[in-house]
Amino acid sequence: MKKSIFLLFPVLCMTKLVHAQRKEIKAFSDLPTINYSTVMLKASDEASIDSWMKNIAAIEAKHVDSIFTNCNVTDINTQVFLLRIKALSEFINADWQQLQHADTVFRSMLDAYGPYKKAGITELAAYAKAILDPSPDLTKKYVHFFIENMKPLTADEQAYFIGSTIKLFSDANDLFTEELKKATTSPVIADTLMAHFLRSYVYRQFDTSVSSQLMAYL
């Protein structure tokens, strides 16, 4: 009998034989998928949205770790997807100790795009560092840590990274409204379809003053 409470149909990448090889994930379509119930997700209820997201994030962080532990992920786009999901989950979980290192997650990828190879997921790592820093002005600290991570980038790379981040923040509210509408029209949603949903949920929480201050560096 299929179990369906919050987590539906988990497909785990586990090796059962001592000498079995790790499963190779060569493409995004090879990813093991978790389907989540959306029954408790109420579009007009922020508290239910926050609770739903926290439950999802707690599961997804462990799920991504399980994939990297038990599978050989050889497709770079799938690696990037998983690492971004992990960082978004850490933000939602308020796991600042782990999230502060998100600016380094792409450094070992030989084929990663230059700005991201150097700066990783700086827009989230900088927030974690700002939270962990004892000084009181969160926005000022955030911008400081963000810009510090831009130093290894070329001028063109900095403009691209900062501009892209500002756009992510400015688009977040509208994108979240779209994604929430999609999610609540179905009784379940697959985690492999949730990247925009999680991202917009997180980025809409950034104060508009952050974008204004980052613009000064363009």
What pLDDT tens digit does each residue of the chain (218 aa) get? 333 334 444 444 544 433 357 899 999 999 999 999 999 898 889 999 999 999 999 999 999 999 999 999 999 999 999 999 999 999 999 999 999 999 999 999 989 999 999 999 999 999 999 999 998 899 999 999 999 999 999 999 999 999 999 999 999 999 999 999 999 999 999 999 999 999 999 999 999 999 999 999 99
**pLDDT score at 20:** 52
Residue 42's pLDDT is what?
Answer: 87
Q: What is the per-residue DSSP string for the chain?
A: ---BSSEES-------STTPPPEEE-SGGGS---EEE-TT--TT-HHHHHHHHHHHHHHHHHHHHHHHHHEEE--HHHHHHHHHHHHHHHHHTT-HHHHTTGGGTTTT-TTS-HHHHHH-SHHHHHHHHHHHS-SS-HHHHHHHHHHHHHTTS-HHHHHHHHHHHHHHHHHHHHHHHHHHHHHHTSSEEEGGG-HHHHHHHHHTTS-HHHHHHHHTT-
pLDDT for 109 equals 93
Q: Which two tokens stand for residue 41?
A: 């997700």
At residue 11, the pLDDT reads 44
Query: Could you give the CA distance from residue 3 to residue 44 in angstroms, rounded to a whole number?
Result: 28
What's the confidence (pLDDT) of residue 101?
A: 98
Strands 23-25 and 35-37: unpaired
Q: Minimal CA–CA distance to 70: which of 119, 149, 11, 13? A: 13
How many residues are present in the chain? 218
Beta bridge partners of 165: none
Cα separation values, 197 from 14, 42, 190, 203, Å:
27, 14, 11, 10
What is the structure's pLDDT at 45?
93
